[in-house]
Structure 1
């Protein structure tokens, strides 16, 4: 296991704003990587069918993607602990432009082989990227600011979806009539952003070099070995904390297929789909900031803050899925012949608000889950495994969801499944908070390993106190 110490004295230099080795700047850098890579990927996926008129190729590619992701996600924490954040995130980021290039190829050759293979490769890369991202986002910040840092990351990340939504909206603006596939220039623009994201990964620091404002290391990690990581991965599947998170993990990407393909993809013209994505990912920025503030500042007790967050997300989620049901009843058979354009005013307003609300709920739900994960531990080694488990189960759910849609499951059934999965998650997250999250009214006091000196000058015994 890794050892962790808080062994650096407080110093005014650590309070300098925009310090490169601060948790704030490092989380910001990870946000920029995700802005350029999964942010742009989300913008493309949000159009429905990967920007293609026929969604079959994208659905099959995404099935391969999330099937591979479900495996690599659970291994991603091990890769992070073995390779470190820089190499892990760089290699992962390179798989995103490869995926987009497969749809550029598909625009001309209509063969699904390349998109499906690229989807599988991206699934491996995404597992590495999100495990590393989760470890950094949940372990670098101080305990009383984890919600704020999650909001910072989520805002930057989803700004990628906003900018990414503007790309197809702008490049396809004059293609008002009906549905169509996006242009080559749209795919090329996405690829350029993704390559830049891979370059950002090369300047991310390892945990041991990240210093908080009080002068302590975010984590001092002795990188693990393959045998240790293999044992710890197996243990996750019998960890009661992870088992309580299973429904939330499964649900958290399951609804994307329904929202992207069967709401945005079916109801709107091509240019309006891009505009809707701007709103969807913009709503995510609002949702993450709101829930992040509540989870950090609403109450003194951390456990009460978490329970309050669960209650708020449950109430908002119930209202939004209820609105989704009302909308879905208008086209039970999945057919919508008269596509809606953003210039149609009143006819556009209702479906637009619904789609915006779906984005709001997604950010609130996932930010809540990440906050709960961050409250379960305080070091990057353990949290990289927890985050990897979360992303693994999440991706398994997404793989199933894409195939559910490919097999033309009634849309009303898909909506009900999504609503039920998210609803089941709330009481289980509440139980996890009650049983596993401690209230900390003072900073965590972590004793140094045996023989080392902690921040108070005491000789460590190897025990940890809270």
Structure 2
């Protein structure tokens, strides 16, 4: 009689060598299970990786995020969810990030138990409902529906982002984690770029500050629904085989109890990760100031759309640069971690120092048309636009650099899929806790000056607190035996047959 653990591995017993071009003209032969998921094909003379390979799965999850959170970012980048008054969006986002904080922290538990495919598919549904509620609010006063849609998206987003992060930092090997972030972040933010083109095209000849059209919301709704549908075609982590034949480290037959205990085991494995929590907390804090207090409050609709487009394009450029340098070979990973910390520290004071000079131009009261009827929203044709435009571009660049660094730091601490899911869960939960607080403060009309200062101070202080884990705990390599601690996997389960660490098993 076979046990559950034995039957869980039946797909590993039938393997066939597959010729694989590693990109250098050399051919490796990873041992792959049989079946359509592991067939390699040549298209236009190029070797296309098998369906259950990290590369294909990364591309798929990137396009899911392209159509779900990518479109959400495009909508949020307009300030106030596309509405002239940001109060409704602030209240919805407070509910969103409050729920996100809870389900983000426990997201790793759901990912490990349900698998990345169904977690992502379920997570995608919340984005569509959020956009629907905004469209309805244009025509009727439905605050209850709006708050429910925000809270429901928080639940869904907490699960989607934890599953996405698990794929991004546990599927690649140690030398590719920066590259994988760059590919994902570029495709994901292309969604926000294309999403920004929708309102820009509809308002390009209109120099007014108005709520976006119904057609804009409908376009977002359709794309978000397609993203949730696409997620159902992903593979789960247990099916993934890397180019060297190794597998992602997982817990066999996880239970809800084992996964909840796993949250504590993750912190016990590396308690220093707590020092990254302030960086997690502030990683979405600055969006409210940038999108509402700057872009949404100061510029007219067409200029907001252009700024949003440039902001997300800058993120793609930054992701490519950061992904390349984080994976530079010939330089130790521990040294790259220290350099990354130093560059972030310099950028924090350079970019936000320039932002302080701009922030002093106006206040919440001076841009309020009810309090100041003479106020006219700034347009790209007005003199002096170039400076704020570049500032907003650098804000987008900084955001991608910050997020890339956090993902890479987490990925450098472990290669375990199970542990990575919990790291990402902590990251997204704590990040959302900060976002819920700052959205609530913005809804309460905290002054723009205080919003700005809170960003600058929190960013700088969080880097100082994170320094010990970055300087002392990120090593050049994490041994597989360490990653297997706390699971019932063995080296035989996760390494290819010819791997040096597997000899004698």
Post-superposition CA distance 1:227-260 (Å, at most 9, x none): 1112223456776233101110111001111111
| CA distance 1:273–1:18, shift in 2 (3 Å) | farther
TM-score, normalised with respect to structure 2: 0.85
Q: Tell me which residue corresponds to 2:246.
A: 216
Q: Tell me which residue corresponds to 2:378.
A: 340
Contact 1:141 1:149 in 2 (8 A): yes
Contact 2:54 2:171 in 1 (8 A): yes
Q: Tell me which residue corresponds to 1:275.
A: 306
SS of 1:297's partner is coil
| CA distance 1:434–1:348, shift in 2 (3 Å) | same
Q: Tell me which residue corresponds to 1:416.
A: 453
1:13 counterpart = 2:50: no
1:449 is matched with which residue: 490, 494, 500? 490
Deviation at 1:338, TM superposition (A): 2.5
1:377 is matched with which residue: 411, 414, 428? 414
1:360 is matched with which residue: 397, 417, 420? 397
Matches within 5 A, 1:48-127: 48-127=79-158
2:289 is matched with which residue: 226, 250, 258? 258
Once the two structures are overlaid, the 10-residue window that deviates more, 385-394 or 231-240, is 231-240
Q: Tell me which residue corresponds to 1:463.
A: none
Deviation at 1:212, TM superposition (A): 1.6
Distance 1:203 1:393 in 2: 29
Deviation at 1:314, TM superposition (A): 1.6
1:317 is matched with which residue: 348, 352, 357? 348
Deviation at 1:451, TM superposition (A): 7.6
The answer for unaligned runs of 5 or more in structure 2 is 23-46, 368-374
Distance 1:234 1:71 in 2: 16
Contact 2:113 2:254 in 1 (8 A): yes
1:183 counterpart = 2:213: yes
Q: Tell me which residue corresponds to 1:33.
A: 64
Matches within 5 A, 1:376-395: 376-395=413-432
Contact 2:248 2:494 in 1 (8 A): no
Q: Tell me which residue corresponds to 1:401.
A: 438
SS of 2:327's partner is helix
Bigger radius of gyration among the two: 2
Distance 2:19 2:466 in 1: 39
| CA distance 1:347–1:223, shift in 2 (3 Å) | farther
Post-superposition CA distance 1:69-92 (Å, at most 9, x none): 000001111110011011110011
Deviation at 1:209, TM superposition (A): 1.9
TM-score, normalised with respect to structure 1: 0.92
Contact 2:200 2:302 in 1 (8 A): yes
Contact 1:60 1:402 in 2 (8 A): yes
Distance 2:204 2:53 in 1: 42
Once the two structures are overlaid, the 10-residue window that deviates more, 334-343 or 451-460, is 451-460
| CA distance 1:185–1:453, shift in 2 (3 Å) | closer
1:200 counterpart = 2:230: yes
| CA distance 1:175–1:430, shift in 2 (3 Å) | same
Deviation at 1:163, TM superposition (A): 0.5
Higher relative contact order (CA 8 A, sep 6+): 1
1:351 is matched with which residue: 376, 384, 388? 388
| CA distance 1:412–1:19, shift in 2 (3 Å) | same
Tell me how many residue pairs correspond in the alignment: 456
| CA distance 1:443–1:10, shift in 2 (3 Å) | farther
Matches within 5 A, 1:165-176: 165-176=196-207
Post-superposition CA distance 1:18-70 (Å, at most 9, x none): 43222111111111011100010011011111111111111000000000000
Q: Tell me which residue corresponds to 2:462.
A: 425
1:297 is matched with which residue: 328, 337, 355? 328
